[in-house]
Chain A
Protein backbone atom coordinates (compact mmCIF):
# COMPACT_ATOMS: atom_id res chain seq x y z
CA UNK A 1 0.00 0.00 0.00
CA UNK A 2 2.82 2.32 1.00
CA UNK A 3 4.65 1.36 -2.18
CA UNK A 4 1.66 2.30 -4.31
CA UNK A 5 1.44 5.69 -2.59
CA UNK A 6 5.11 6.31 -3.14
CA UNK A 7 4.83 5.34 -6.79
CA UNK A 8 1.87 7.70 -7.19
CA UNK A 9 3.84 10.61 -5.71
CA UNK A 10 6.72 9.85 -8.03
CA UNK A 11 4.40 9.62 -11.03
CA UNK A 12 2.72 12.93 -10.21
CA UNK A 13 6.10 14.64 -9.79
CA UNK A 14 7.48 13.29 -13.03
CA UNK A 15 4.38 13.68 -15.19
CA UNK A 16 3.35 17.17 -14.00
CA UNK A 17 6.38 18.94 -15.39
CA UNK A 18 6.05 17.92 -19.05
CA UNK A 19 2.30 18.72 -18.93
CA UNK A 20 2.99 22.24 -17.64
CA UNK A 21 5.52 22.74 -20.41
CA UNK A 22 3.44 21.30 -23.24
CA UNK A 23 2.87 24.14 -25.65
CA UNK A 24 2.87 25.33 -29.21
CA UNK A 25 5.82 27.73 -28.95
CA UNK A 26 7.80 26.35 -31.89
CA UNK A 27 4.80 26.75 -34.21
CA UNK A 28 4.10 30.21 -32.78
CA UNK A 29 7.67 31.36 -33.45
CA UNK A 30 7.49 30.04 -37.02
CA UNK A 31 4.17 31.83 -37.55
CA UNK A 32 5.54 35.04 -36.05
CA UNK A 33 8.54 34.85 -38.36
CA UNK A 34 6.17 34.58 -41.32
CA UNK A 35 4.07 37.48 -40.02
CA UNK A 36 7.14 39.68 -39.54
CA UNK A 37 8.36 38.96 -43.09
CA UNK A 38 4.94 39.89 -44.57
CA UNK A 39 4.63 42.95 -42.35
CA UNK A 40 8.10 44.18 -43.32
CA UNK A 41 7.22 43.81 -47.01
CA UNK A 42 3.98 45.70 -46.49
CA UNK A 43 5.50 48.48 -44.40
CA UNK A 44 8.36 48.89 -46.89
CA UNK A 45 6.27 48.98 -50.05
CA UNK A 46 2.88 50.32 -49.09
CA UNK A 47 3.25 54.05 -48.58
CA UNK A 48 -0.35 54.77 -47.81
CA UNK A 49 -2.17 58.01 -48.40
CA UNK A 50 -4.27 59.08 -45.50
CA UNK A 51 -7.60 57.40 -46.04
CA UNK A 52 -9.44 54.81 -44.00
CA UNK A 53 -9.43 52.31 -46.87
CA UNK A 54 -5.62 52.52 -47.09
CA UNK A 55 -5.18 51.03 -43.65
CA UNK A 56 -7.09 47.96 -44.86
CA UNK A 57 -4.12 45.79 -45.93
CA UNK A 58 -2.57 46.12 -42.47
CA UNK A 59 -5.70 45.05 -40.68
CA UNK A 60 -6.14 42.28 -43.21
CA UNK A 61 -2.61 41.04 -42.48
CA UNK A 62 -3.30 41.01 -38.73
CA UNK A 63 -6.59 39.20 -39.24
CA UNK A 64 -4.77 36.61 -41.35
CA UNK A 65 -2.13 35.81 -38.73
CA UNK A 66 -3.65 36.44 -35.30
CA UNK A 67 -4.38 35.09 -32.75
CA UNK A 68 -1.42 32.97 -31.65
CA UNK A 69 -2.30 30.54 -28.87
CA UNK A 70 -0.28 28.54 -26.30
CA UNK A 71 3.00 30.35 -26.85
CA UNK A 72 5.79 31.22 -24.44
CA UNK A 73 6.21 34.98 -24.34
CA UNK A 74 9.94 35.54 -24.77
CA UNK A 75 10.59 33.48 -27.93
CA UNK A 76 7.57 35.13 -29.58
CA UNK A 77 8.65 38.63 -28.56
CA UNK A 78 12.23 38.03 -29.67
CA UNK A 79 10.96 36.96 -33.10
CA UNK A 80 8.78 40.07 -33.34
CA UNK A 81 11.73 42.28 -32.46
CA UNK A 82 13.56 41.09 -35.60
CA UNK A 83 11.34 43.26 -37.78
CA UNK A 84 12.99 46.21 -39.53
CA UNK A 85 10.06 48.28 -38.35
CA UNK A 86 10.00 47.06 -34.76
CA UNK A 87 9.64 50.00 -32.38
CA UNK A 88 9.03 48.91 -28.80
CA UNK A 89 7.64 46.34 -26.39
CA UNK A 90 5.67 47.99 -23.63
CA UNK A 91 4.67 46.05 -20.52
CA UNK A 92 1.68 46.43 -18.25
CA UNK A 93 2.43 44.53 -15.02
CA UNK A 94 -1.11 44.86 -13.63
CA UNK A 95 -2.79 43.30 -16.64
CA UNK A 96 0.28 41.20 -17.41
CA UNK A 97 0.40 41.95 -21.09
CA UNK A 98 3.03 43.13 -23.53
CA UNK A 99 2.22 45.51 -26.38
CA UNK A 100 4.51 45.09 -29.38
CA UNK A 101 4.51 47.95 -31.87
CA UNK A 102 5.87 48.40 -35.37
CA UNK A 103 5.87 51.56 -37.44
CA UNK A 104 7.15 53.02 -40.71
CA UNK A 105 6.50 56.57 -39.47
CA UNK A 106 3.20 56.72 -41.38
CA UNK A 107 1.44 53.64 -40.07
CA UNK A 108 1.68 52.04 -36.68
CA UNK A 109 0.58 48.46 -36.12
CA UNK A 110 0.67 46.46 -32.93
CA UNK A 111 -0.27 43.26 -31.17
CA UNK A 112 -0.78 42.29 -27.55
CA UNK A 113 0.67 39.24 -25.81
CA UNK A 114 -1.36 38.20 -22.77
CA UNK A 115 0.84 36.39 -20.24
CA UNK A 116 -2.04 34.75 -18.35
CA UNK A 117 -3.73 33.43 -21.46
CA UNK A 118 -0.41 32.68 -23.24
CA UNK A 119 -1.99 34.21 -26.31
CA UNK A 120 -1.15 37.00 -28.75
CA UNK A 121 -3.89 38.99 -30.44
CA UNK A 122 -4.01 41.85 -32.89
CA UNK A 123 -4.19 45.37 -31.51
CA UNK A 124 -5.05 46.89 -34.88
CA UNK A 125 -3.37 49.40 -37.15
CA UNK A 126 -3.62 53.16 -37.40
CA UNK A 127 -1.94 56.34 -38.53
CA UNK A 128 0.92 57.81 -36.57
CA UNK A 129 0.50 61.23 -34.96
CA UNK A 130 3.24 62.92 -36.97
Chain B
Protein backbone atom coordinates (compact mmCIF):
# COMPACT_ATOMS: atom_id res chain seq x y z
CA UNK B 1 0.00 0.00 0.00
CA UNK B 2 2.92 2.28 0.83
CA UNK B 3 4.31 1.70 -2.63
CA UNK B 4 0.98 2.66 -4.09
CA UNK B 5 1.13 6.05 -2.43
CA UNK B 6 4.81 6.53 -3.14
CA UNK B 7 4.44 5.70 -6.79
CA UNK B 8 1.74 8.27 -7.41
CA UNK B 9 2.92 11.31 -9.27
CA UNK B 10 1.46 14.67 -8.50
CA UNK B 11 -0.35 16.06 -11.46
CA UNK B 12 -3.43 18.13 -11.97
CA UNK B 13 -5.31 15.04 -13.10
CA UNK B 14 -4.66 13.14 -9.86
CA UNK B 15 -7.39 13.08 -7.29
CA UNK B 16 -5.84 13.78 -3.93
CA UNK B 17 -8.95 13.16 -1.87
CA UNK B 18 -12.20 11.54 -2.73
CA UNK B 19 -14.92 11.56 -0.07
CA UNK B 20 -18.07 9.60 -0.86
CA UNK B 21 -21.05 9.78 1.48
CA UNK B 22 -18.75 10.19 4.48
CA UNK B 23 -20.40 10.09 7.86
CA UNK B 24 -18.79 10.72 11.23
CA UNK B 25 -20.27 10.83 14.70
CA UNK B 26 -18.67 12.33 17.75
CA UNK B 27 -20.19 11.11 21.02
CA UNK B 28 -23.42 10.24 19.20
CA UNK B 29 -23.61 13.69 17.62
CA UNK B 30 -23.43 13.62 13.83
CA UNK B 31 -20.50 15.80 12.74
CA UNK B 32 -20.49 14.77 9.06
CA UNK B 33 -23.64 13.56 7.36
CA UNK B 34 -23.13 12.02 3.96
CA UNK B 35 -20.41 14.41 2.83
CA UNK B 36 -19.07 13.95 -0.69
CA UNK B 37 -16.16 15.90 -2.11
CA UNK B 38 -13.36 15.50 -4.62
CA UNK B 39 -10.07 17.37 -4.35
CA UNK B 40 -7.58 17.41 -7.22
CA UNK B 41 -3.84 17.91 -6.87
CA UNK B 42 -2.77 21.56 -6.88
CA UNK B 43 -6.14 22.94 -5.86
CA UNK B 44 -6.48 25.70 -3.28
CA UNK B 45 -9.76 25.14 -1.52
CA UNK B 46 -11.48 27.05 1.27
CA UNK B 47 -13.82 25.05 3.50
CA UNK B 48 -16.36 27.57 4.68
CA UNK B 49 -18.83 27.04 7.44
CA UNK B 50 -19.97 28.30 10.80
CA UNK B 51 -18.77 26.80 14.07
CA UNK B 52 -19.90 23.18 14.28
CA UNK B 53 -20.45 22.82 10.54
CA UNK B 54 -17.92 19.96 10.31
CA UNK B 55 -14.88 21.77 8.85
CA UNK B 56 -12.39 20.70 11.53
CA UNK B 57 -13.79 17.17 11.61
CA UNK B 58 -13.35 16.85 7.86
CA UNK B 59 -9.74 18.04 8.10
CA UNK B 60 -9.02 15.47 10.79
CA UNK B 61 -10.51 12.74 8.69
CA UNK B 62 -8.41 13.92 5.75
CA UNK B 63 -5.35 13.75 7.99
CA UNK B 64 -6.32 10.22 9.10
CA UNK B 65 -6.54 11.22 12.74
CA UNK B 66 -10.17 10.15 12.87
CA UNK B 67 -11.84 7.66 10.59
CA UNK B 68 -15.21 7.73 8.86
CA UNK B 69 -18.07 5.87 10.56
CA UNK B 70 -19.68 5.37 7.14
CA UNK B 71 -18.93 6.04 3.49
CA UNK B 72 -15.36 6.13 2.18
CA UNK B 73 -12.55 8.64 2.18
CA UNK B 74 -9.64 7.96 -0.14
CA UNK B 75 -6.24 9.58 -0.52
CA UNK B 76 -4.78 9.00 -4.00
CA UNK B 77 -7.01 5.98 -4.34
CA UNK B 78 -6.12 4.38 -0.99
CA UNK B 79 -8.90 4.20 1.61
CA UNK B 80 -8.03 6.02 4.82
CA UNK B 81 -8.89 3.47 7.47
CA UNK B 82 -7.54 2.58 10.88
CA UNK B 83 -6.17 -0.66 9.46
CA UNK B 84 -4.31 1.19 6.69
CA UNK B 85 -2.72 3.58 9.19
CA UNK B 86 -1.48 0.69 11.31
CA UNK B 87 0.84 -0.18 8.42
CA UNK B 88 4.06 1.73 9.18
CA UNK B 89 4.99 2.08 5.53
CA UNK B 90 1.65 3.52 4.53
CA UNK B 91 1.36 5.74 7.61
CA UNK B 92 4.81 7.30 7.20
CA UNK B 93 4.28 7.80 3.45
CA UNK B 94 0.96 9.47 4.19
CA UNK B 95 2.38 11.70 6.95
CA UNK B 96 5.15 12.73 4.58
CA UNK B 97 2.61 13.87 1.99
CA UNK B 98 -0.18 15.35 4.09
CA UNK B 99 0.28 17.90 6.86
CA UNK B 100 -2.26 19.45 9.20
CA UNK B 101 -1.87 22.75 11.03
CA UNK B 102 -4.18 22.74 14.03
CA UNK B 103 -6.33 25.70 14.95
CA UNK B 104 -4.88 25.98 18.45
CA UNK B 105 -1.07 26.30 18.24
CA UNK B 106 -0.74 25.52 21.96
CA UNK B 107 -1.93 22.01 21.18
CA UNK B 108 0.48 21.62 18.30
CA UNK B 109 3.55 22.98 20.07
CA UNK B 110 4.62 20.40 22.63
CA UNK B 111 8.41 20.41 22.37
CA UNK B 112 10.80 22.22 24.72
CA UNK B 113 12.25 24.57 22.09
CA UNK B 114 11.20 26.06 18.75
CA UNK B 115 14.04 24.20 17.02
CA UNK B 116 12.92 20.87 18.51
CA UNK B 117 9.38 21.66 17.46
CA UNK B 118 10.26 22.16 13.81
CA UNK B 119 12.61 19.15 13.86
CA UNK B 120 9.97 16.85 15.42
CA UNK B 121 8.23 15.83 12.18
CA UNK B 122 11.39 15.09 10.15
CA UNK B 123 12.77 13.09 13.09
CA UNK B 124 9.65 10.94 13.28
CA UNK B 125 9.92 10.26 9.56
CA UNK B 126 13.51 9.13 10.00
CA UNK B 127 15.25 11.73 7.83
CA UNK B 128 19.07 11.87 7.90
CA UNK B 129 20.48 14.19 10.55
CA UNK B 130 22.24 16.54 8.10
CA UNK B 131 19.07 16.97 6.06
CA UNK B 132 17.02 17.66 9.18
CA UNK B 133 19.44 20.36 10.33
CA UNK B 134 19.47 22.00 6.90
CA UNK B 135 15.69 21.92 6.49
CA UNK B 136 14.95 23.14 10.01
CA UNK B 137 17.31 26.10 9.66
CA UNK B 138 15.90 26.94 6.23
CA UNK B 139 12.32 26.73 7.49
CA UNK B 140 13.06 28.89 10.54
CA UNK B 141 14.67 31.45 8.23
CA UNK B 142 11.60 31.30 5.99
CA UNK B 143 9.26 32.23 8.86
CA UNK B 144 11.78 34.77 10.19
CA UNK B 145 12.20 32.93 13.46
CA UNK B 146 15.86 31.92 13.53
CA UNK B 147 16.37 34.14 16.56
CA UNK B 148 13.61 32.21 18.36
CA UNK B 149 15.08 28.74 17.81
CA UNK B 150 16.12 28.24 21.43
CA UNK B 151 12.99 29.76 22.92
CA UNK B 152 10.27 27.63 24.50
CA UNK B 153 7.15 27.69 22.29
CA UNK B 154 4.86 28.58 25.21
CA UNK B 155 6.78 31.83 25.59
CA UNK B 156 6.01 33.05 22.06
CA UNK B 157 3.37 35.57 21.05
CA UNK B 158 0.18 34.38 19.34
CA UNK B 159 1.45 35.30 15.86
CA UNK B 160 4.85 33.68 16.49
CA UNK B 161 3.19 30.48 17.75
CA UNK B 162 1.07 30.29 14.63
CA UNK B 163 4.09 30.75 12.36
CA UNK B 164 6.07 28.11 14.26
CA UNK B 165 3.10 25.73 14.07
CA UNK B 166 3.00 26.33 10.31
CA UNK B 167 6.78 25.82 10.05
CA UNK B 168 6.55 22.56 12.04
CA UNK B 169 4.38 21.12 9.26
CA UNK B 170 5.79 22.91 6.20
CA UNK B 171 9.30 21.66 7.07
CA UNK B 172 8.14 18.28 5.74
CA UNK B 173 7.25 19.93 2.43
CA UNK B 174 3.98 18.00 2.17
CA UNK B 175 2.07 17.76 -1.10
CA UNK B 176 -1.16 18.54 0.75
CA UNK B 177 -1.45 21.14 3.47
CA UNK B 178 -4.56 21.17 5.65
CA UNK B 179 -5.06 24.36 7.64
CA UNK B 180 -7.62 24.73 10.40
CA UNK B 181 -8.48 28.40 10.88
CA UNK B 182 -4.90 29.59 10.20
CA UNK B 183 -5.63 33.25 10.84
CA UNK B 184 -8.15 32.98 13.68
CA UNK B 185 -7.39 35.13 16.74
CA UNK B 186 -4.49 36.86 15.02
CA UNK B 187 -3.95 40.59 14.76
CA UNK B 188 -4.13 42.01 11.21
CA UNK B 189 -0.33 42.09 10.75
CA UNK B 190 0.08 38.48 11.89
CA UNK B 191 -2.82 37.46 9.62
CA UNK B 192 -1.05 39.02 6.63
CA UNK B 193 2.23 37.34 7.57
CA UNK B 194 0.62 33.90 7.69
CA UNK B 195 -1.12 34.40 4.33
CA UNK B 196 2.07 35.73 2.74
CA UNK B 197 4.00 32.73 4.05
CA UNK B 198 1.47 30.38 2.53
CA UNK B 199 1.65 32.20 -0.80
CA UNK B 200 5.44 32.10 -0.83
CA UNK B 201 5.48 28.38 0.03
CA UNK B 202 3.04 27.32 -2.65
CA UNK B 203 4.80 26.63 -5.93
CA UNK B 204 1.50 26.08 -7.70
CA UNK B 205 1.64 22.29 -7.31
CA UNK B 206 0.64 22.12 -3.68
CA UNK B 207 -2.86 21.26 -2.60
CA UNK B 208 -3.97 23.61 0.16
CA UNK B 209 -7.25 23.12 1.99
CA UNK B 210 -8.11 25.84 4.47
CA UNK B 211 -11.00 25.68 6.92
CA UNK B 212 -12.14 29.15 7.82
CA UNK B 213 -15.13 31.32 8.47
CA UNK B 214 -13.23 34.51 7.69
CA UNK B 215 -14.67 35.56 4.37
CA UNK B 216 -12.29 38.50 3.99
CA UNK B 217 -9.34 36.16 3.28
CA UNK B 218 -11.23 33.93 0.87
CA UNK B 219 -9.88 35.48 -2.33
CA UNK B 220 -6.29 35.27 -1.08
CA UNK B 221 -6.33 31.63 0.02
CA UNK B 222 -8.50 29.83 -2.52
CA UNK B 223 -9.73 29.38 -6.05
CA UNK B 224 -12.58 27.16 -4.93
CA UNK B 225 -14.93 27.56 -1.99
CA UNK B 226 -16.80 24.64 -0.45
CA UNK B 227 -19.54 25.63 1.97
CA UNK B 228 -20.44 23.19 4.73
CA UNK B 229 -23.56 23.20 6.80
CA UNK B 230 -24.53 20.58 9.38
CA UNK B 231 -21.82 18.22 8.17
CA UNK B 232 -22.66 18.27 4.46
CA UNK B 233 -21.61 20.27 1.41
CA UNK B 234 -24.23 22.86 0.50
CA UNK B 235 -22.23 24.75 -2.13
CA UNK B 236 -19.08 24.23 -4.17
CA UNK B 237 -18.13 27.12 -6.45
CA UNK B 238 -15.64 29.88 -7.15
CA UNK B 239 -15.09 32.24 -4.19
CA UNK B 240 -16.60 35.22 -6.00
CA UNK B 241 -19.71 33.22 -6.78
CA UNK B 242 -20.08 32.09 -3.18
CA UNK B 243 -19.50 35.60 -1.85
CA UNK B 244 -22.17 36.94 -4.18
CA UNK B 245 -24.75 34.50 -2.85
CA UNK B 246 -26.03 36.34 0.20
CA UNK B 247 -28.84 33.91 0.77
CA UNK B 248 -26.41 30.97 0.87
CA UNK B 249 -24.02 32.76 3.21
CA UNK B 250 -26.82 33.72 5.56
CA UNK B 251 -28.28 30.23 5.60
CA UNK B 252 -24.80 28.80 6.40
CA UNK B 253 -24.42 31.35 9.23
CA UNK B 254 -21.37 32.87 7.58
CA UNK B 255 -22.86 36.35 7.53
CA UNK B 256 -25.65 37.97 9.43
CA UNK B 257 -27.67 41.05 8.79
CA UNK B 258 -27.96 43.60 11.51
CA UNK B 259 -30.23 46.53 12.04
CA UNK B 260 -29.32 49.89 13.44
CA UNK B 261 -30.39 53.50 13.44
CA UNK B 262 -29.01 56.30 11.32
CA UNK B 263 -30.51 59.65 12.08
CA UNK B 264 -33.42 57.94 13.77
CA UNK B 265 -34.15 55.86 10.66
CA UNK B 266 -33.89 52.09 11.19
CA UNK B 267 -32.28 50.16 8.36
CA UNK B 268 -30.48 46.89 7.66
CA UNK B 269 -26.95 45.91 6.53
CA UNK B 270 -26.98 42.45 4.95
CA UNK B 271 -23.24 41.80 5.32
CA UNK B 272 -20.02 43.62 6.15
CA UNK B 273 -18.10 41.43 3.64
CA UNK B 274 -20.09 42.09 0.51
CA UNK B 275 -18.37 45.22 -0.65
CA UNK B 276 -20.57 45.60 -3.66
CA UNK B 277 -23.45 46.14 -1.26
CA UNK B 278 -24.71 49.72 -1.18
CA UNK B 279 -27.42 51.11 0.93
CA UNK B 280 -28.87 54.53 1.42
CA UNK B 281 -29.22 56.22 4.74
Partners in one complex: no
